[in-house]
Amino acid sequence: MRRWLELEATVSPELADPFSSFLFELGSGGIEMEEANQAVTLRAYFPEERIHRQALLRAVQRYLRAVSSKHHQLTVHQMSEENWGESWKQWFSPLAVGERLWIQPPWVSEKPPGRIALVIEPGMAFGTGHHPSTLGCLELIERAVTQGRTNYALDLGTGSGILAIALAKLGVPRVHAVDIDPDALAIARTNALRNEVAAVVQVAESWEASGVAYDCIVANLYRNALEELAHKIHLHLEPLGSFICSGFLVSDEPSICSAYAQLGFTVEQRWERETWVALWFRKKRP
Ligand SMILES: C[S@@+](CC[C@H](N)C(=O)[O-])C[C@H]1O[C@@H](n2cnc3c(N)ncnc32)[C@H](O)[C@@H]1O
């Protein structure tokens, strides 16, 4: 049976967001935050086969030492898949997103009339839609797809497949979903089947070799990856195409905007929640 690591740390409120961004970048599939007595306790979950307990502890200790002189209490527990599944099921409740979307786990069947259901079982992959970065991408995808026709979209870093499935269910006829993590690819395929969009969503390991241009690219990654990929994204996006991204905090926004502005992108719309930002960029005309 698969095992999970639950990392628990209590930090001052001003550190909570950057710390959660760091844990997100380290590959945590889910992060809970609880505020009490002017401190915030974060619980982050990592599949044990992806990160060793000692490596996780060392990385977090190094991070906390670099950002604060205080001593932080850190614990890392092992959890079985069964316990993890039960604990995380408690906080994966159905959620209305934007004007038209509705995210629900497979064990819930009711859906408000008129909303499009995205049935997501993230397993070890990231993407229940409850993280502000996923939520921001979904809202901007809904707006972009409603505003103009999208023919071929790329979901870069698909995780559970949630953004690719949203694109397909909002009517995009061809969606390419990629991830560097083979577990995520398997989970995204299962979720595409579960949502009956497997014929539209092509799940694959790579995209650069495809030589095609998309009219919409979405990427919920993190700051460094978004900056490193800027040229490739520019190359594979059609003129006037949309690029929707998230996975970074307000403090990183100027740097992301500058990387994309240098390539001629302009910001079409901006979304922010709990200091996480999502941006919808438009590529310039030829
Ligand atoms: C934060 S999760 C986003 C998951 C989902 N798209 C969402 O919005 O909830 C980021 C995903 O990107 C993948 N990833 C990270 N770097 C990548 C890269 N350079 N190319 C493709 N996938 C990448 C990770 O394996 C992870 O599944």
pLDDT, block means (10 residues), the chain with 286 residues: 83 90 81 86 84 88 88 84 64 86 87 93 68 93 95 95 97 96 89 96 85 92 94 96 95 96 98 94 92
Closest CA to 207 of 158, 263, 156: 156
Task: Determine which residue's CA is closest to atom 13 belonging to ligand 1.
Answer: 157
Q: Is 47 in the pocket of ligand 1 (CB under 6 A)?
A: no
Burial of 28 (0-12, 13-18, 19+ CB in 10 A): buried
Q: Is 98 in the pocket of ligand 1 (CB under 6 A)?
A: no
Q: Is 137 in the pocket of ligand 1 (CB under 6 A)?
A: yes
Structure tokens at 8: 């628990």
Instruction: Tell which atom from ligand 1 comes closest to the C-alpha of 246.
Output: 8
pLDDT at 91: 62
pLDDT at 212: 79
Calpha distance 134→165 (Å, rounded): 13
User: From ligand 1's centre to the CA of 221, what distance in Å?
Assistant: 5
Structure tokens at 194: 């579960």
- Is residue 4 within 8 A of residue 46, CB to CB? The reply is yes
Ligand 1 site-directed mutation target among 25, 126, 218, most atoms within 8 Å of CB: 126
Calpha distance 97→101 (Å, rounded): 5
User: From ligand 1's centre to the CA of 34, what distance in Å?
Assistant: 25
Domain over 92-282 is classified CATH 3.40.50.150: yes
Return residue ranges of the chain for CATH 3.30.70.120.
3-88
Task: Determine which residue's CA is closest to atom 7 belonging to ligand 1.
Answer: 127
- Is residue 233 within 8 A of residue 265, CB to CB? The reply is no
CATH of domain 3-88: 3.30.70.120
pLDDT at 229: 96
pLDDT at 1: 57
Burial of 182 (0-12, 13-18, 19+ CB in 10 A): exposed
User: From ligand 1's centre to the CA of 70, what distance in Å?
Assistant: 32
